[in-house]
Structure 1
Amino acid sequence: MSISRRDLVGASGLALLGAAAVSGRVQAQSIPEAPTTTANTMQPPLYPTSGPDYQPVVTLNGWTLPWRQNGDWKEFHLVAEPVEREIAPGMTARLWGYNGQSPGPTIEAVEGDKVRIFVTNRLPEHTTIHWHGQILPCGMDGVGGLTQPHIKPGKTFVYEFQLMKSGTFMYHPHADEMVQMAMGMMGFFVVHPRDPRQHRVDRDFVFLLSAYDIEPGAYVPKVAEMLNFNMWTWNSRVFPGIDPLVVAKGDRVRVRVGNLTMTNHPIHMHGYDFEVTCTDGGWVRPEARWPEVTIDIPVGAMRAYEFDAIHPGDWAIHCHKSHHTMNAMGHGIRNFIGVDKKQFAGRMKRLVPDYMPMGSAGMADMGEMEMPLPDNTLPMMTGFAQFGAVEMGGMFSVVKVREGIGSKDYRDPGWYQHPPGTVAWEWKGPQPAVTRAPTPARTDRSGTPPARVVKPSSHDSHK
């Protein structure tokens, strides 16, 4: 799939930039141009125009890196650099990534391909790239100091290897990992089967899990944070900024999820059960696949699952750790449920006229309020749909299954129009009688229940 400069700009609106200084045996004039983008929405997939056929992946809020054919080699160019990423409308983070984005563009190729990947470093410190899960020569594994020299700022290194197996892999630095991965340096590497009939699906989605601690008003993540993150992201986006997964009814769908956060994530999808079909170790044999509605993604791992899209609707997909579907959390928030704050609120309003007491009956009211926020942050719970506030954030999106969607159409179809009589409704008839549970027996201070007094029955009184 060779893409010219004109084709690339015309097809996907990506800008092109040249390479930096070069280190090693490859000369500057032989380096492919490095496409870059700052778009925050999902870009159309790149369909193959030559070579083996495959169904390309769709990167959630992301894109696929174009390549050029040079003899037997497919050549790619990654540029490690500072980037700005819109986490959701209203908040931007200053991260590190590749080719203008964090995460970087998805690399796609085919089993058996020989790939040559140029990596230019425009960071203020050295870096490397590790090809997570790939089988390759040791000297191409990308561990700084162990298997290669570090890539110094302004230098370009070359990685060359043949793709030994199909599957889903990742790329990320193996140099100053605490900083570089915490700043957003990561990406997907998808290798399709050589036989296009093998593991074929109609739609194939990929996204990476990452987490950041960015204080309100700040732009740069805390790189030394290990536990208290406040932005749980899919491809460095949070709800409501995460694109929906648009699916045609009847499609066979694959969802590939990689986890480069510091905790596991149980990804749950509503409306369906599915089969786990792939890990970053390889494909799961058909007889070994297992059914789930929630699949736990361990740290540093990938899981892929598949389902047949037979149930139309707007089906939620999210991490099932409840704090991971929230934004800008304050970890010192106290619990005021059940607290009567009327007198306190009256006194506070004398000092702060705009003071609003909240939390006495839960936090749901925050989902509908549009309060002024500090600069560059997001509401803790947000988002609206056709029935009101969604009260979500973070790792949450929607799988939108519809009839009549074209095979290459990934546009948002809007909210699902439910058939009459299929939406839960308010009951306005007679209320059912309330059955109260029996009061438990009292105990004395020793913990022994008092002796039960049995009244004689009418039968006993006739004896």
Structure 2
Amino acid sequence: MTSRREFFKYAGIAGGAVAATAVSRVAMAALPEPVIQTSPQTMAPLVPSSGRPYNPVVTLNGWTLPWRMNQGVKEFHLVAEPVVREMAPGFKAHLWGYNGQSPGPTIEVVEGDRIRIFVTNKLPEHTSIHWHGQRLPNGMDGVAGLNQPAIAPGKTFVYEFVARRPGTFMYHPHADEMVQMAMGMMGFWVTHPKEKNPLIDEVQRDFCFLLNAYDIDPGSYTPKIMTMLDFNLWSWNSRIFPGIDTLNVRLNDKVRIRVGNLTMTNHPIHVHGHEFTITGTDGGPTPKSTRWPEVTTDIAVGQMRQIEFVADEEGDWAFHCHKSHHTMNAMGHAVPTLIGVDHTGIAKKINKLIPDYMVMGERGMADMTEMEMPIPDNTAPMMTGEGPFGSVEMGGMFSVLKVRKDQKPGDYKDPGWYKHPKGTVAHEYSGPLTEPARFKAEGGQSMPRIQKSAQPTEVQVRKPTSHKDH
């Protein structure tokens, strides 16, 4: 995490504009230096050193933006700029983001805080920022052309408002939104309660991350911005498994996980080994009468869901989107199903022309994890990740919740693989087997047919030779 002292030479601060309302000359005289983060690892929670105290969140594969206090106002500086994001080890993407990363840093404030956010545009086109879910003056809502002029390249705007209610929110552009969000421009916002709230429990672990998706051709670096549905990289905070950090907690910790969805489809987020309740949305904390236990919650486009549970089961528990194609990397959508197809004869012929040709898919896709076939540079394998018992055969939106009794309070380091007590791991059975009972009835119909065909009928089709009378 670094500060760029030379930044203002290039940012065009002198020609900056002010969004909606004026700020004092004192505030504009010396903007806070923009803090830049380039590491893709999960940073430690940022304990507040000024302003109201709060229990900070941990942003999965991300970080929290520092601030300064200026005459009772909490000031931040966001820089919209091109970034290089490592999506997984050995695979980097050329994205747009904030302060060196995509997504941008999490902004943490306290209910009642006066907020001032300077936004400098280093993109090749204009931009703006919408503060998703916030109650604020209309001129601070960030929709370019509707609430404010767009922020031109090289200019700095300032947004000012009061954090009026606690909750979990997001920020993203509302200017050329399709392009800029497809390029990775988004971030999280958490407003902590200023005092004890009957709907907000204290927790020992508080995680947050955004769901986002990209379409990046194998071997390339830049997302295809015109893709609407057929994405090939489903990510958490612009990271894909096995590049997503684990969520490491202490046994019997109360855990909160805040998940925001800025992709173009819904995501059923599923936790193994525990039940949780939905305790908040981007509209705020949910009434306790509306909460019930679940193991999967569907998060629609533009929504946030906050889940909570007590981590009372030790182990390494899978945590993932339950759409199976969303736990794969760089997956082609036009691949035919070849299960049961015998390639033996054709493979020999093809190998004479293409010596490196490999048969795939006739038994399913799992054997792809064992193939050492070459892939284009700067590409993530479709199924990868090595666990203690072999390949996990996952990608995309997948991680692991690690619950340990010896994890120290506040310690977020990866404890390694779980050591299972003797006799608690599924294993091969080698004893005698009886013939299993099978369901022998075939599918029928609700009522018998009056007329029954004596012989099966085979439909014969004769195609016309031309379009005449067709």
TM-score (norm 1): 0.91
Paired residue for 2:309? 307
Paired residue for 1:273? 275
Report the Cα distance in structure 2 between the residues aligned to 1:36 and 1:447, rounded to whole angstroms. Answer: 76
Residues 261 and 441 (structure 1), Cα distance of their counterparts in 2 relative to 1, 3 Å cut: closer
Paired residue for 2:318? 316
Report the Cα distance in structure 2 between the residues aligned to 1:115 and 1:353, rounded to whole angstroms. Answer: 63
Q: Is the 8 A contact 2:50 2:69 kept in 1?
A: no
* Structure 1 position 447, deviation (Å): 4.0
User: Mean alpha-carbon deviation: is it higher for 19-28 or for 195-204?
Assistant: 19-28
* Structure 1 position 432, deviation (Å): 2.2
SS at match of 1:350: helix
Report the Cα distance in structure 2 between the residues aligned to 1:217 and 1:290, rounded to whole angstroms. Answer: 45
Paired residue for 2:458? none
Report the Cα distance in structure 2 between the residues aligned to 1:308 and 1:447, rounded to whole angstroms. Answer: 61
Residues 444 and 337 (structure 1), Cα distance of their counterparts in 2 relative to 1, 3 Å cut: farther
* Structure 1 position 217, deviation (Å): 1.4
The 5 Å alignment of 1:323-402 reads 323-402=325-404
Post-superposition CA distance 1:158-194 (Å, at most 9, x none)? 0000010000000000000010011000000000001
Paired residue for 1:21? 12
Q: Is the 8 A contact 2:314 2:405 kept in 1?
A: yes
SS at match of 1:343: helix
Q: Is the 8 A contact 1:216 1:377 kept in 2?
A: yes
Report the Cα distance in structure 2 between the residues aligned to 1:57 and 1:75, rounded to whole angstroms. Answer: 19
User: Mean alpha-carbon deviation: is it higher for 424-433 or for 152-161?
Assistant: 424-433
Verify: 1:120 aligned to 2:112, yes or no: no
Paired residue for 1:404? 406
Tell me the amino acid that sits aligned with residue 98 of structure 1.
Answer: Y
Verify: 1:243 aligned to 2:245, yes or no: yes
Q: Is the 8 A contact 1:183 1:223 kept in 2?
A: yes
- Which consecutive unaligned segments of at least 5 residues does structure 1 have? 1-12, 451-463
Q: Is the 8 A contact 1:207 1:234 kept in 2?
A: yes
User: Mean alpha-carbon deviation: is it higher for 434-443 or for 322-331?
Assistant: 434-443
Name which of 296, 299, 302 aligns with 2:298.
Answer: 296
* Structure 1 position 441, deviation (Å): 9.9
Report the Cα distance in structure 2 between the residues aligned to 1:405 and 1:288, rounded to whole angstroms. Answer: 33
* Structure 1 position 254, deviation (Å): 0.3
Q: Is the 8 A contact 1:441 1:449 kept in 2?
A: no
Report the Cα distance in structure 2 between the residues aligned to 1:441 and 1:297, rounded to whole angstroms. Answer: 36
Q: Alpha carbon RMSD of aligned pairs, Å?
A: 1.9
User: Mean alpha-carbon deviation: is it higher for 190-199 or for 285-294?
Assistant: 190-199
Report the Cα distance in structure 1 between the residues aligned to 2:204 and 2:358, rounded to whole angstroms. Answer: 50
Report the Cα distance in structure 1 between the residues aligned to 2:386 and 2:114, rounded to whole angstroms. Answer: 47
Paired residue for 1:70? 70
Residues 151 and 448 (structure 1), Cα distance of their counterparts in 2 relative to 1, 3 Å cut: same
Tell me the amino acid that sits aligned with residue 70 of structure 1.
Answer: N
Paired residue for 1:426? 428
SS at match of 2:386: strand
**% identical aligned pairs:** 62
Report the Cα distance in structure 2 between the residues aligned to 1:245 and 1:142, rounded to whole angstroms. Answer: 33
TM-score (norm 2): 0.90
* Structure 1 position 439, deviation (Å): 6.5
Tell me the amino acid that sits aligned with residue 311 of structure 1.
Answer: E
Report the Cα distance in structure 2 between the residues aligned to 1:312 and 1:66, rounded to whole angstroms. Answer: 34
Report the Cα distance in structure 1 between the residues aligned to 2:256 and 2:209, rounded to whole angstroms. Answer: 12
Report the Cα distance in structure 2 between the residues aligned to 1:314 and 1:154, rounded to whole angstroms. Answer: 47
* Structure 1 position 65, deviation (Å): 0.0
Post-superposition CA distance 1:217-241 (Å, at most 9, x none)? 1111011100110000000000000
* Structure 1 position 29, deviation (Å): 3.5
- Which consecutive unaligned segments of at least 5 residues does structure 2 have? 456-470
SS at match of 1:292: coil
Paired residue for 1:100? 100
The 5 Å alignment of 1:30-179 reads 30-179=30-179
User: Mean alpha-carbon deviation: is it higher for 192-201 or for 397-406?
Assistant: 192-201
Tell me the amino acid that sits aligned with residue 128 of structure 1.
Answer: S
